Amino acid sequence: MPGTAGPAGYPESYVSIDLETTGVDHTRDAIMEIGAVRFDRGEVVDSFSTFVDPGREIPSDIVYLTGIRDEDVRGAPSIGDVLPDLVAFLGDLPLVAHSAPFDLNFLRAAAGESPEYEFGGGGVYDTLALSRALVPRLPSHRLQALVRFLDVEGGQAHRAGDDALAAGLVFDRLLGLMGETGSAVLGRLASLAPPELAGLFRAAAERTKDRLDPFALPDHGEKEAELLRYDNSRRIDIERRPVGEKVDIDLDAMESLFQVEGPVGEGLSGYEIRREQLQMLRAVGDALTGGVHLLVEAGTGVGKSLAYLVPAIYFAVQNGERVVISTNTRNLQEQLFQKDMPFLAGVLDLPFSSSLLKGRSNYLCAQRWRQVLQKGMTQAERSRLLPVVVWELETESGDISENAAFRGAGYLWNRISAEGGPCLGQRCPLAEKCYLQRARKAAQSAHIVVVNHSLLFSDTETDNKVLGEYSYLICDEAHNIEGVATEHLGRRASVWRTRAALDNLYRKDGGESGDLAEFLAALDAAEETGTLSAAREAGERLKRHVAEAQAAADLFFRALAARHEELNEGHPVEFGKLRYHPGFSVYSILNAELDALVESLNEVSAASEALADLVADADIRRAESTYQALVF
């Protein structure tokens, strides 16, 4: 169809499509409703909608979700009767869908081997993948969440016609966001995206390269506040000033804040005075000013967090002290930082500063991220990294929990996190942009520092090198302290940690990736010398050792799991844990497998050191970072 693409390959005409099905498995379930909408330059020009007889009963959960009942599809045309009309409606226009693989799999399964039915031949744009790349901080990328955030027309969710219209309008708005994005950012997105999205990003870059700053990002206007709710960075504008002599806090004045007509009471909907909350407030205040330990047990509904936060804030500000607050769960940690303390900052007539500090594994390493962008990766790996591009330019904290689109990316995050590899410290070329050091510096300056128990004990292990010196600590969810202490003050090994360390070095899964793969690729492009030839041989030898270690690790941990079950009288081990009595040698139960694993890991270590020595002598690009990856 003429006019499907505008200047520089931009899609001006397209068809958005949505299906409602009897389940999520395209090999067993069937289509029961199809909706499609044709767009031209952002305007709706035609639509297609029909029920389809799925040839089976509709499950009750699908009825609940969609509202479509058996009587609605009874007498509707079969999918074989619908497909010719649908194909004619689609023409050769590009398809737009939210979670496009789902819809395409069902359509292709319905078409079978019929060559006259081609779906996606004109190109496919997945609004789920596109929205995750362009608005990664949005907490949900479901279609209805995008409809709300982007202020587009949305009808009844989980009905094909309405969802097809919504997907098309969302796509048009996402094109608008690309029109506000600089060419350098779009180019980086294109370098990671699968082919069709890569072409779209390149087309957008051509349209913006002479019009915008290359690193311009979309302005979300009033909606930016919705995204910033999840921002884990906060500027320290209030200087903490230690005082010479400890100042007692006025507990009567603080208690008055919690009266119904007080600032805390007035700020909370449906607030009622709770005697236990006021008792706890006074107890915490007395403990801080008196320098004594306090153990509090309080039931649900007492309002514990405000009861300790208010005296902690007043004490910290008036004495220029830091109060560290530790929680067990990330949810409570972020509730304190993102909800409770912003609320108190708004109602208390006392300026204070706060910071959120997490472990290394939560923060992006800017240097490792830059290196990964230059490395050879599989297309699947590159696509999964797509949501990091815009977020990395937007974030102040570098805390991956802000990036809902990238959660659950597993070993890929390990490759770009501050814990995932060697740290060059102040010698790092991007030291000034180090998110981890920013967070630690903020924690040194703030009145209130929110951490979790895990980080608290990591700090204990390093003699306060993480948190620095502090004298006042509040542990919420303290009943978990013993378990966390056991976890951190002991030692642990797991198949996942072992594989992560080996995968960072070399991984072969549809393609080669890892520091070793990148180094060998650089050798192939370098001018041949005796040193490079020796390094290449050493690298190939290390590849073999890594593969052997990966196999040995899998074998050992599988055998260990099986042996645990035997030791537990044939019953599955609850939560994968089995306690051993004092004097029992854990290592004796799998001597051969453990010896094989240790031997293979030693071979990896020795081969890495040998290669690192050759790397240090090789004059190739990024030799220093490769050396660091091998020796640490």
Provide the annotated active-site residues: 158
- Distance between CA atoms of residues 209 and 498, nearest Å: 45
Q: Which amino acid is at 10?
A: Y
Strand 43-51 relative to strand 31-40, pairing:
antiparallel
Tokens of 421: 């590899």
Q: Which amino acid is at 494?
A: S
Contact partners, residue 267, CB within 8 Å, separation at least 6: 343, 346, 347
Query: By the 8 A CB rule, do 468 and 460 touch?
Result: no
The candidate with the shortest Cα–Cα distance to 404, out of 61, 136, 7, is: 136
Q: For residue 355, what are the CA distances in angstroms to 257, 351, 462?
A: 24, 14, 21
Query: In degrees, to the nearest 5, what angle opens at C-alpha 88 toward C-alphas 85 and 94?
Result: 125
Determine the Cα–Cα distance for residues 234 and 446; give it in Å rounded to an integer. Answer: 10
H-helix or E-strand spanning residue 168: helix 160-178
CB-neighbour burial class of residue 592 (10 A; exposed 0-12, middle 13-18, buried 19+): exposed
Radius of gyration of the CA atoms of the chain, in A: 29
Phi, psi of 553 (to 5 degrees): -65, -45
Task: Provide the phi-psi class of 573: left if phi over 0, else alpha when psi is between -120 and 50, else beta.
Answer: beta
Q: Is 67 left (phi over 0), alpha (psi -120 to 50) or beta?
A: left
Q: Report the C-alpha gap between 337 and 343 in whole angstroms.
A: 10
Distance CA 440, CA 460 (A): 15
